[in-house]
Structure 1
Amino acid sequence: MHETPFPIHETGSFRYNAEGPTDSPLPPVVLLHGMLGDLSNWVDTVEALSDNGYRVLAPILPVYDFPLSETGVPRLTTHVRDFVDTLDLDRVVLVGNSLGGHVALLYALDQVEKVHAMVLSGSSGIYETTMGSSFFRRQDREFIRERTEMTFYDPAHATEELVDEMLEIVNDRPRAFRLLKIARSADEETVTEQLSQLDMPSLLVWGRDDIVTPPEVGEEFRDRMPDARLEFIDKCGHAPMIEHPDTFNALTLEFLEELAEEAPLTPPSGR
């Protein structure tokens, strides 16, 4: 995992970044990275949100740590539920990219009373262009580079270091098997028909040039969720918080500020 400027805390089996005031009246924000992501994806977002008074927690999703039989999106969702419970967080804002968005959706469906709002970016759960089993079989550097570049609008973000990491993963059979299992699990655990149940305020931030979860996926999330707003970022692929962190963070902060003005942090009636 790439290093971040923030310390990694450990509580029980959980490892995470935690920044910002613990006594803030604002809802805590939980950041969930994607399948091939890590905490470094959120460095700019952690800083922007914590500087604006939010308590921000970014757990490491233990993609490779479970027995193969348990590996999948539901098990990662349970991990996040246990993380929120262990840290005794009240109603949270979930911010998820790609697989992290999918985990946020499943968590929200299971724990609706604990989710104040969501910010989803390039989320799986409806449809995504998966890497396919060939990604985990072909150990050809140029092929891996091309697939890594698909994540971004600007291929410069697919650095030599990142391509090396992907090569290392596909050459590690236990890790490659787990990634393949999670990719298949994401295909199976679709939430399309359940999205109408998620009535918490939700912001969808999508790269206009995302080819993993194309723009029409963001539009379908918006159309199916009762209280969702969709914002596109131009010249941006599947990871807006990496390619355009300033825009992503500004949209997220604006959304959270509107929430604070419109809806104080009290449980809505009926939940």
Structure 2
Amino acid sequence: MGSERRAFLWIPGWGADSGVWSAERRRWNAPGDWHLTVNWTSLDRPESVREIVWKALHRLSGIPVYILGWSMGAMAALEAALSRPEGIRGLYLAGAAPQFRYSRDYPAGWRDRVLVQMRRRLVSDLPKVLAAFDRRMFSRWECVDGWFEQWRREGRPRMMNVGDLSAGLEYLRRFSIVKEVSRLRVPVHLLHGGEDVIAPLQGADLLAERLPEGRLTIWEKAGHLPFWTQPERFHQWLKERIES
């Protein structure tokens, strides 16, 4: 790739901030590289999620963009690439799904009553809601290795705004590109944990099947945070795809 100027857009998931990408972001420091990170703040409505990503892409206009997205960030990246693909060299997505909410067409999603109840409980018991969500992000093997506890110590943002979390949940509840995904015309590289229960593997399989330029990698014993629990392996995975 040489000295070509390029931009990296780093998008975190629900309940996380840009710090989740910090270790990997530091590895990409070639001259001319430009890094822009997204944080889910000031989400006064669900539409704010896509607006934040669109504004970030507008700032990177005219530069080849590589989008790194995780979970809700992966979904927002897919949505943005569908509507504004210009300049996007590729999507590199962990824990992605074409829909988050259960429907007859998408049985792998979360039941609506669970999402509604979770949103209500954010107001009354925020720490417990986040702790339960965090626990589900890790496979049983990762928990044995201590990754859940490490996330709670080092990865979990300390200050979380109920309004931002609530709007993010509502975005997930409404999000669906099941019917549109076959129109996406940029390369999409998917990484998914085989034990992911937040965004079950069936969703990634559907994406890989319907995306015109979709490639799926599965790490069998990983959960919803494969790039965080296996950073060296993830860096090699990403480097091979960006620099090939």
User: TM-score, normalization: structure 2?
Assistant: 0.79
After superposition, the Cα gap between the structure-2 partners of 1:143 and 1:28, relative to the gap in structure 1 and judged at 3 Å, is: closer
Q: Which residue of 1 aligns with 2:122?
A: 136
The superposition leaves residues 45-101 of structure 1 with CA deviations (integer Å, 9 ceiling, x where unpaired) of: 1123336x672524132x2314x3xx22x3222222222323445231111001111
CA positional deviation for 1:250: 1.0
| Aligned pair partner of 1:236 in 217, 222, 225 | 222
3-state SS of 2:14 partner: coil
Between the aligned partners of 1:164 and 1:76, the Cα distance in structure 2 is 20
Question: Are the aligned partners of 2:19 and 2:155 in contact in 1 as well (CA < 8 Å)?
Answer: no
Q: Offset at 1:141?
A: 5.9
Counterpart in the other structure of 1:158: 148
Corresponding residue number in structure 2 for 1:183: 169
Of the three residues 59, 72, 76, the one matched with 2:37 is 59
User: Per-residue deviation at 1:216?
Assistant: 1.3
Q: Which runs of 5+ in 2 are unaligned?
A: 101-108
Shift of the 149–84 alpha-carbon distance from structure 1 to 2, 3 Å rule, reads same
1:252 maps to what in 2? 238
Tell me by how many angstroms 1:206 deviates: 0.5
Asked if residue 120 in structure 1 is aligned to residue 93 in structure 2, the reply is yes
Residue in 1 aligned with 2:6?
27
Summarize the alignment of residues 11-50 of structure 1 with structure 2, pairs less than 5 Å apart: 24-25=3-4, 27-50=6-29
CA–CA distance in structure 2, aligned partners of residues 213 and 48 of structure 1: 27
User: CA offsets per residue over residues 153-177 of structure 1, 9 Å max, x none?
Assistant: 22333335469857x64xxxxx224
Count of residues in Structure 1 that have an aligned counterpart in Structure 2:
224
The structure 2 residue matched to 1:110, chosen from 71, 83, 93, is 83
Tell me if the contact between 1:32 and 1:97 (Cα under 8 Å) persists in the aligned partners: yes
Alpha-carbon distance in 2 for matches of 1:145, 1:163: 12
Structure 1 residues 26 and 241: alpha-carbon distance in aligned structure 2, compared to 1, 3 A threshold: farther
Q: Distance in 1 between matches of 2:16 and 2:239?
A: 22
Distance in 2, Cα, partners of 1:164 & 1:101: 19
Give the Cα separation in 2 of the matches to 1:220 and 1:106: 16
CA contact 2:98–2:181 (8 Å) conserved in 1: no
Cα distance in 1 for partners of 2:168, 2:15 equals: 11
Map of 1:69-108 to 2, 5 A cutoff?
Answer: 71-72=45-46, 74-108=47-81
- CA distance, structure 1, for counterparts of residue 16 and residue 174 of structure 2: 21
Q: Is the 8 A contact 1:49 1:253 kept in 2?
A: no
CA contact (8 A) 2:9 2:38 kept: no
- CA change 1:34–1:56 in 2 (3 A) is farther
TM-score by length of 1: 0.72
1:149 touches 1:157 (CA, 8 Å); kept in 2?
A: no
State the Cα distance separating 1:30 from its structure 2 match. Answer: 1.2
Alpha-carbon shift at residue 233 of structure 1 (Å): 1.5
Q: Which amino acid aligns with 1:102?
A: M
Q: After the TM superposition, which of the residue ranges 219-228 and 37-46 deviates more from structure 2?
A: 37-46
